[in-house]
Amino acid sequence: MRYPKLRELREAITALIKGPYTSKFPYEPHEPAKRFRGKPVYSNEGCIACTACALVCPTRAIEFRDVVTKGKAMRKMILHLDECHYCGQCSALCTTRDDVPPGIKHTSEFDLAGFDRAIMVSTTDEKELAVCEICGDIITSKAHLNWIATKLGPLAFSNPTLFIASLKGLGFSEDVFQTAKDYVSRSDRIKIVCAKCRRKTTIEQF
């Protein structure tokens, strides 16, 4: 019992000399610590809409909204700040975390209380999706395919989906938006197709 009392006394004397640890916020501006995890924000340039952050978010604060209309499929990432508990999983495991800028990062903003939940969001612009040219299922975003192809370099040429996607990204190939084909043929191998249809074109049919 004696030691804790001495320790408390030492802390009280230190606090008297050095001043309190707490800041005087909101009466004075507060400067958060260097690695403080404040409001997470998306970078429209850095985010490739791969949805990895939504999958690892423990509170399901991140929503991805896919809208498929005739001729176009788009995805938007939406982070609901009122459901976020600032754990940092999304930024730590973001696919583009080592890029400049990364897809998502924490800022030092912390004074986020408000009355309108609708404005407590961080979003990206809509990103175009790649859909399977055979069955019409969503594969991932085009930016994600391009990112993988760039990372793989020449190795991307072993996967038709990746190299066609990168050619389209460079403007060398026309966009195709074709859905629900009843059959597959050998020529379907050189198309942007989902894993299920790739299997059909390469293993099951030949």
Chain positions contacting ligand SF4, by CB under 6 A: 40, 42, 47-53, 57-59, 61-62, 77, 79, 84-90, 94-96, 103-104
CB of 175 to ligand SF4, least distance (A): 22
Return the number of other C-beta atoms located less than 10 Å from residue 74's C-beta: 16
Whose Cβ is closer to ligand SF4: residue 40's or residue 160's? Answer: 40
Q: Nearest residue by C-beta to ligand SF4? A: 103
Whose Cβ is closer to ligand SF4: residue 56's or residue 68's? Answer: 56
Q: Strand pairing of 72-80 and 127-131?
A: antiparallel
CB of 86 to ligand SF4, least distance (A): 5
Q: Cα angle at 28 between 22 and 32, to 5 degrees?
A: 55
Whose Cβ is closer to ligand SF4: residue 141's or residue 166's? Answer: 141
Residue bearing tokens 């059959």: 183
Q: What is the CA radius of gyration of the chain?
A: 25
CB of 112 to ligand SF4, least distance (A): 12
**Distance between CA 34 and CA 39 in Å, rounded?**
14
Beta bridge partners of 72: 69
Whose Cβ is closer to ligand SF4: residue 68's or residue 87's? Answer: 87
CB of 48 to ligand SF4, least distance (A): 5
**Distance between CA 95 and CA 103 in Å, rounded?**
8
Would you call 79 exposed, middle or buried from its count of C-beta atoms within 10 A (0-12, 13-18, 19+)?
A: buried
Whose Cβ is closer to ligand SF4: residue 57's or residue 192's? Answer: 57
CB of 11 to ligand SF4, least distance (A): 32
